[in-house]
A and B are shown apart, each in its own frame.
Chain A
Amino acid sequence: MDNAANRVASDNASTLESLTEFLYLVPVGIVRCDGDGRIQQMNPMAVQLLLPLCKEPQLDIFGWLDRFDPNGRAAIEAYDGECGLVRPNTRVAVRPPSEDGLPEVLSLTITKVSATHFMLIVSDDSELARKDRLLQQKHRDLEATLRELGETQTQLLHAQKMEAVGQLAAGVAHEINTPLQYIGDNLSFLNKASTNFLALVDALENCDKATLADTLTETLRKRKIPFLRKRVPRAAEQAIEGIDTVSAIVSAMKEFAQPGIADKQPTDLNRLIEVTSTVSRHEWKDVAELVLELDEHIPEVLTQVGEINQVLLSLVVNAAHAIGEAAQERGTITMSSRTHEDHVEVAVRDDGCGIPEEIRARVFDPFFTTKPVGSGSGQGLAIARSIVVDKHGGTLDFESQIDVGTTFRMRLPRAAT
């Protein structure tokens, strides 16, 4: 009798022990509490999950849960299921988001175990929350990037214009340098000539009437007056021409950049073609002749002048590059304008290398370039297209044949936009 009772007791004890051990080891927190949230029982995992939530250990489940998110209390208090029914997965944020590996989101499964008692199964959902957050962050980043991209495009427009102007300025400095040199040469020649002419005048003024003829003959020879007489008018003309050239380039440059004029204005496209061909001379003169075929009667259209200049410049520079790539020594770039019924057209034609079939679809893509690093950024046509299509309601397209050449056509609507 005694023995049997003992055995039952010891069986019970070992069952209890293995049950306790089981509850110790399950990787979820188990808490039993009464309707007011007073904790009756909990396993170590529950302590481990809940303890980091506040400084002072609590014997009241709400003391742990309420610190941050009312969701847990609400779910427990609102739970009026029958005994044994489970309300799964109430997510409770318990700490501010962090990456320290401590619980920040717990998942509660609530069960009513008696009329007055609840059992909560508590598990750590933080990993999920962190992944969620990462995903949301990525999403926000992506949206921000998209927005930035839009802004950047506008900035790029401006930046590329400034870059183009900068590059042009270097070219223009070269272009101005040559006329300046012969202006200088001619002026110093004229300076010397005037010294000699004045010497002649002095000699004649100071000499004896008797020796006048001799002095004249001698000074004319000595001061090379006949030679100077022949050359002086040409030198003066050349200096004036040089100055005209320089001031044409400078004013074209000023017209090209159009600083400070942001609004659209009635525009003579022929003038833009002339201005662009002038300021870009340095870019094409080594590889090509530039021919203008302008429609004298082209009507004015509304444009943002600085931007359309930027488009024409991109097309001319591309044409020059294409000719540079081609086999023949020199080529021709033709810039033409034409009037159509409802639009005007500016074409830039080159007899360069042509655009290979397989890249035709991509030449307008931002950053698409076949040029070596540092030489092309691949923004030229992308920005040109955006200016023509988005800002002016026009079209920009091209025809091309390998080793024959390429024609880019910009069409702008005649009706005011």
Chain B
Amino acid sequence: MYRGMTHVASYETLGFDAPHLFDALTEMTSAQRDTLPFGVVGLDDEGLVVSYNQAEAALSGLTPSRVVGRRFFKDVAPCADVPSVSHRFFEADEVDEVVPFVFALRMTPTPVRIRLLKRAGAQLGFLIVERA
């Protein structure tokens, strides 16, 4: 209980660039991910959306229920199916890289930074999204 509390406290200070972000996200529940100030999309190894946090939903205007279970780069954000994002995400086993990007959210171009996070053997990989 006490340890849990300290964890939650530390999550609140967890930043987009935090070096141990991958470990922290893997430990967190989806409720805990919802408290984060930046978008988090969890993808399985086939690119299906497994988790979609509140910040990401607010950014894209898409509710998690519409998104979870769909192919992220095909059905949800086809615009991100470009070499610098989707190819980069899938072509290596381990990725930790920040790429600049523009989301065409509701037709409004929104510059963002996307951090691609993936580890060999892990169940989920993450796209971390923050307004640029």
- Chain A interface residues toward B at CB < 8 A: 20, 23-24, 39-48, 51-52, 55-59, 102
Query: In the complex, how many angstroms separate the beta carbon of B80 from the nearest chain A beta carbon?
Result: 8
Contacts of A45 in B (CB 8 A): 78-79
From the candidates B100, B107, B108, name the one contacting A56 in the complex (CB within 8 A).
B100
Q: Are B100 and A48 in contact (CB under 8 A)?
A: no
From the candidates A47, A55, A56, name the one contacting B104 in the complex (CB within 8 A).
A47
From the candidates A23, A41, A55, A57, name the one contacting B111 in the complex (CB within 8 A).
A57
Query: In the complex, how many angstroms separate the beta carbon of B118 from the nearest chain A beta carbon?
Result: 20
A209–B53 Cα distance when bound, in Å, is 143
Known: A39-B109, A41-B108. A47 touches B83 (CB 8 A): no
Q: Are A20 and B81 in contact (CB under 8 A)?
A: no
Query: In the complex, how many angstroms separate the beta carbon of A233 from the nearest chain B beta carbon?
Result: 96
Contacts of A102 in B (CB 8 A): 83
8 closest A-B pairs by beta carbon, nearest first, are A44-B79, A47-B79, A57-B102, A41-B107, A44-B104, A51-B82, A48-B79, A47-B104
Q: Are B102 and A51 in contact (CB under 8 A)?
A: yes
* Interface CB pairs A-B, < 8 A, 7: A42-B104, A44-B78, A45-B78, A46-B104, A51-B82, A51-B101, A58-B102
Query: In the complex, how many angstroms separate the beta carbon of B113 from the nearest chain A beta carbon?
Result: 10
Known: A44-B78, A45-B79, A57-B102. A52 touches B107 (CB 8 A): no
Contacts of A24 in B (CB 8 A): 78
Query: In the complex, how many angstroms separate the beta carbon of B107 from the nearest chain A beta carbon?
Result: 4
Q: Are B107 and A23 in contact (CB under 8 A)?
A: yes
A56–B112 Cα distance when bound, in Å, is 11
Does B8 have its Cβ within 8 Å of any Cβ on chain A?
A: no
Q: Are A48 and B82 in contact (CB under 8 A)?
A: yes
Query: In the complex, how many angstroms separate the beta carbon of A40 from the nearest chain B beta carbon?
Result: 8
- Minimum CB distance partner of B79 in chain A: A44
Does B24 have its Cβ within 8 Å of any Cβ on chain A?
A: no
Known: A45-B78, A102-B83. A59 touches B107 (CB 8 A): no
Does B103 have its Cβ within 8 Å of any Cβ on chain A?
A: yes
